[in-house]
Structure 1
């Protein structure tokens, strides 16, 4: 009797039981991996709704209350962001002058640290975004904190922190990303830029629609556009090019931040 009990107690797992355990482990690992992607997609949607959309609303609210866009003159409006500082062309009226040869007024931001170097170089902005909104009692998105409403923190695909920053500027005619008043959005990883473009324009095209990549020329009508420059395999600090390919600076390891791009989001006013 004791021999039967000892023999039964020494019986191990069967192959079927081991297979079931391995399948369950695989399902758990897969669910964790998928869950991370779902969580990141939800965070990107939140970023658009709670930050990008709310800054567009704040910009439109400024126009509704002041009758002019951000930084424009109320007595002699030019319908330009920071239009009050537009002096190129002297006393010429807007109609009849070749504005593509003029110098656009500088952007209005709250800080410039996160806006990368551009080609041509981006002039130093006016650091007055917070003040100009406060003057009209306009509620800004909460952003990171009081005084940093122009910034939003998120995690990239490596789990490292990245920071989005917004500015507003007027693009003169012949600007690659399109002319008119735009929200400049820096600090976007390529996947975040594509997802925002998909949500705003319906497809991730860097040169078409109201959401475009900075410096990307608008293409010929009737032909396919271009992909957003760079991808998530490239390290922060790399040179962004077009067609989904950038210049990698070192290997993109888990401890590295992902490369970022700059977008121009055309405003209604």
Structure 2
């Protein structure tokens, strides 16, 4: 069986040893400053109406995995609201353009998930702009992996930002969305390979992602009787703006080398997992699970 277009493109974007060129930028990171620019499926994702007529909110939807999910959802027939930080506006507008070129509505909802009140406003703005909500993708995340590794180098400000963005924000947004979701709708959380194979440099991030695995199982049990499915995707090393914005250049260069597939992943390679889990036809009996997209590293 021939390799897919998206896999061939991902391999071509990686360096010869499977990683990326050493580079760095300031948080939160912007797509246009990356070398190479990631593949989000702009030229490779073909839709088949799997999400026709549905309405989705994607946090962290401006770039990286969120952008790939937004493009795929739009091409599968969904209208999409994007949440992002105000400083990520250039990326968000680019993503909105791809959604609109697919013939779907794009709603831009800037806001900081670290603020409880903002989470409620984000959901209400998305619901108003979309005229409803069927799919919630809790994708926004933060980590810091520069400087001294491990607990000795952990700064309280970074710990607090990771916990409030990754865990609190997910809980606050989900709670605000519950009144708008009904039978057949779904929630998808972005966890991480770090929840299963934590790196010393990412102790706080790994802990929050392990917590999200528990949240996913807990919410699946709570919301299952209402017909709402709750699942998660656990990415491995993926080329997104968060990487050069939070890692040392030499760490960026090594990303993905230790996977069985021998390279870093591209956001486009994650989109299919989110489409599958959102599909009311294909994943109608799937809830409470974590789907790993890791280049071959186990999530169990």
The reply to whether TM is greater than 0.5 is no
TM-score (norm 1): 0.24
Greater relative CO, 1 or 2 (CA 8 Å, sep 6+)? 2
Alignment TM-score, normalising by the size of structure 2 = 0.23
Which protein shows a greater Rg? 1
More helix by share: 2
